[in-house]
Structure 1
Amino acid sequence: TEQVTVPDLSSRFLNEGMQELSRLGLDVGSIQRDYNDSVSDDYIISHEPAANARVAKGTAVKLLVSKGPRPLKVPYLIEKTANEARSSLSAMGLIMQQEEENDDEVEAGRIIRQDPAQGVSIEKGSTVIVWISSGPLLSTVPAVIGLSEKEAQTALEDKGFRVEIKDGISGKELYGKVVDQRPEEGASVRKGVTTTIWIGKKASAGD
């Protein structure tokens, strides 16, 4: 029986390898598939008999073909710190990209959301984006003492605050004007909180 030398098919494209075997008068035996981090999908990882073996024509060569890198499941990263998340991803061979975002609920320095989400299958070397809380969005309380009720309300609402209005006793020159405010002017406060202003009114006769 005529003998032929088995070619080295490792890292060759599957169809190309099969054509090469056919050209030499060798048959394709079983084709098994497995994940491999270094050999691309549909490329040959190894074969049996191995390269350079002398075999009879018509011998079946078994092929082990790559399915590409094993897909990885993205871990749950919400509320982890950036360092914790980076360690987890790095250990899996994944890359972390970090963005920042204000958040009223999640403390500064912890992850608010992630993309891809937990459980999604991705390849090794892929990037996972995480958004890190930079804490609540703060706004500076403007000075409104001496302004009219309407002016003060507009100034505070423009800065993102809610406004509660109460009566405050004052001298005649401040009737209808803001005589006090809480929080005080210049304070850094989370947007959306309620600020209180007191509007000057004459003391009632019963007081």
Structure 2
Amino acid sequence: MYTGKAFAISLVTSFIVSVIICSVFLLVLPRSGGLPFSFGGGGKVEVPAVANMPVEEARLVLQNKGFLMMELEEKKDPNVPVGSIVSQDPLPGFKLDKGALVKVVVSAGGPEVIIPNLEGIPQGQARLQLESINLVVGTISREMHGSISKDAVISTDPPAGTRAPAGTVVNIKISSGESLVTVPSVFKASPGRARSKLERLGLKVSTRYTTNIEYEFGIVVGQDPRSGTKVRKGSTVKIIVNSEAR
């Protein structure tokens, strides 16, 4: 009988201790923010990697996974472009409930540098020059240019001479070659109409006069360069106007 009572007392005691432990665990768990790590399942989602992404791109990536993003601070880092993510917490691969907060640190770049003057420098050389002072080459656009040779730099944004943190993104405008136009024919046009036609194409006009009784007066009887010639924008076309002898 004594043994049976001892067993019963032991069983009741174990049950009470188990209840107390479970109660304490349930009280502490909500305050601690849940389990310190996830064992998978339960609707949890894996945190994506956003390091080195621009802030808005990182925010969008996290939102698409159901997370919120909080910028903790800016930190100088010459190896990460200004405005991009230096680090994140939790790390990629960690599993969280949807709606959880992912904290990030944003790059403020490194020490200030001066944007160099790259006008006329070939694109590849310009890239090397920017990267050598920890600047990041951004968008490269192209446009025709009358004096800067093909594949050379026209301008940068920020412009040359600007002070900017290392890691700043510099956009480059590159020449796609000289802007050539075809000289139109202005033969027998009035001087005013000839000038208007040429200037609309970005050409300059100079006028010389001659007297030729074979043509009526007040019209263009010659031009140089002749029609069909390809010239740079800004080139001068000479028109010869027939006029009465003075």
TM surpasses 0.5: yes
Q: CA deviation at 1:97?
A: 2.1
Equivalent residue, structure 2, for 1:122? 165
CA change 1:133–1:37 in 2 (3 A) is closer
Cα deviation for residue 127 of structure 1 reads 2.7
Q: Structure 2 length normalisation: TM-score?
A: 0.48
Matched, 1:102 2:144: yes
CA offsets, 1:116-174, max 9 Å, x none?
A: 244533353x5310111234433221101122223222222222222222112323433
- The AA in structure 2 aligned to 1:71 is G
* CA pair 74-97 structure 1, distance change in 2 beyond 3 A: farther
Residue 137 of structure 1 corresponds to 179
Aligned mate of 2:110, from 49, 52, 71? 71
User: C-alpha distance in 1, partners of 2:152/2:202?
Assistant: 24
Count of equivalent residues = 149
Structure 1 length-normalised TM: 0.56
Q: Hey, what's the Cα distance between the residues in 1 that align with 2:213 and 2:78?
A: 83
Give the strand-richer structure, 1 or 2. 1
Distance in 2 (CA, whole Å) between partners of 1:143 and 1:154 is 12
CA contact (8 A) 2:123 2:151 kept: yes
State the 1:81 CA deviation. 0.9
Where do 5+ consecutive residues of structure 2 fail to align? 1-74, 90-104
Partner of 2:44: none
The 2-side partners of 1:200 and 1:35 are apart by 71
Distance change >3 Å, CA 165–CA 127, structure 1 → 2: same
1:163 aligns with 2:205: yes
Task: Give the conservation status (yes or no) of the 8 Å contact 1:172–1:202.
Answer: no
Note the residue ranges of structure 1 that are not aligned, 5 or more in a row.
1-32, 44-65
Q: Sequence identity of aligned pairs in percent?
A: 25
Q: Tell me if the contact between 1:36 and 1:67 (Cα under 8 Å) persists in the aligned partners.
A: no
Cα deviation digits, residues 174-195 of structure 1 (max 9, x gap): 3322111011111222223321
Structure number with larger C-alpha Rg? 2
SS, match of residue 174 in structure 1: coil
Per-residue deviation, 1:98: 1.1
CA separation of 1:122 and 1:170: change in aligned 2, threshold 3 A: same
Q: CA deviation at 1:85?
A: 1.7
* Aligned mates of 1:111, 1:176 — CA distance in 2: 46
